[in-house]
Amino acid sequence: MGGDHGPSVTVPAAVEFLSCHPDGRVILVGLSSAIESELRQVGADTRSRLKIVHASEVVEMDDAPALALRSKKDSSIRVAVELVKSGDAQAFVSAGNTGALMAISRFVLKTLPGIDRPAIVSVLPSMKGSTYVLDLGANVDCGPEHLLQFAIMGSILAESVEHKERPTVGLLNIGEETIKGNEVVKKAAELLRESGLNFIGNVEGDDIYKGKCDVIVCDGFVGNVALKTSEGLAQMLGTFLREEFSRNWMTRVAALVAAPVLSAFKKRVDHRQYNGATLIGLKGVVVKSHGSADRFSFGRAIERASEEARNGVVSRISQRLGTMENAA
């Protein structure tokens, strides 16, 4: 029940999820009193598909991951991850501390055989639809084999959740030519060419938004910088646009006339739609929501987790890696 807003956001989002999915069930994990007080208004049908599991501790946003793992054994994150491990939950969504979420998930669930390190993957909008990008920050130093593992996982995600056949995979680099990039990227390109994946070669930063391929793989350092840079730029452009429209009475009239168009534009590029980054490579579905998520936004993260669970992403990755190992 973490994130900047706590149960006041996560509980209503969960209730809304249930009303959209008549077969859905949700377990709310956290301080039960806080959760109960948010549930007062909920109707009987929905309430019957909601369960509360009490967790007495809270991982703070600035807790060190190792500390949260070692000393907060009754935190909502820990309890929820244990529910995924035991099979009582098919997926877990958290708006809490990313580092702690990763450390606890990795410790409790473990990585899938053939996966050395889980990655953080998210979907970004593009001119042609959307692009899965990974890793977005879990691994700051990747070897070529890790980039290959990311490509396999991203590919299965695009296949199972977006229902794309043989998703195209690009390797994030600083030029399209094969001679470009550092040693890790060059070696990763070789592995990708031999992998049987639909590898289209090197792509550049702008290709994320051009929609050149379905999946883009990169080192977590690079991916995180690309993501954050995008957030910063979008915010700056939004601010400048607002400022220009509120400069004087004439521009404010223009803003009134243009309001429906601007609102359609805003809706189209609304980053909240894309909320929910998956910790992929674990023996279970764990989705991280932005800490600052509002109800709509957190709801999108729940949808993502639910989609991945329904489409058996974890077992598909596991199967594919088994097949690859047998073939090798």
Please report how close the Cβ of residue 76 comes to its own copies at its closest, in angstroms: 23
Please report how close the Cβ of residue 185 comes to its own copies at its closest, in angstroms: 8
Piece in contact with its own copies (CB under 8 A), picked from 29-37, 68-76, 144-152, 247-255: 247-255
Piece in contact with its own copies (CB under 8 A), picked from 101-109, 207-215, 291-299, 319-327: 207-215
Cα 66 to Cα 91: distance, rounded to the nearest angstrom: 23
Contact pattern from residue 41 through residue 80 relative to its own copies, giving x for each residue in contact according to CB under 8 A and a dash for the rest: ----------------------------------------
Candidates 229, 292, 315, 319; binder of its own copies (CB under 8 A) is 229
Decide: 77 and 96 in contact? Cβ < 8 Å.
yes
Nearer to its own copies, 113 or 240 (CB): 240
Candidates 116, 193, 237, 319; binder of its own copies (CB under 8 A) is 237
How many CB atoms neighbour CB 219 within 10 A?
A: 23
- Residues 167 to 196 in contact with its own copies, rule: CB under 8 A: 172, 174, 181-183, 185
Total H helices, total E strands in the chain: 13, 10
Beta strands 91-94; 198-203: pairing state: unpaired
**271 is a site residue for its own copies (CB under 8 A):** no
Residue from 274, 297, 285, 275 nearest 153 by CA: 285
Nearer to its own copies, 127 or 327 (CB): 127
- Residues 107 to 136 in contact with its own copies, rule: CB under 8 A: 125-127
223 Cβ contact list (under 8 Å, min separation 6):
120, 133, 134, 135, 136, 137, 172
**8 is a site residue for its own copies (CB under 8 A):** no
Decide: 17 and 26 in contact? Cβ < 8 Å.
yes
Counting every residue, how long is the chain? 328
Burial, 36: exposed, middle or buried (Cβ in 10 Å; 0-12, 13-18, 19+)? middle
Residues of this chain that bind its own copies (CB under 8 A):
125-127, 137, 140-141, 172, 174, 181-183, 185, 204-210, 218, 220-222, 224-237, 239-241, 244-245, 247, 250-251, 253-255, 257-258, 260-262, 264-265, 268-269
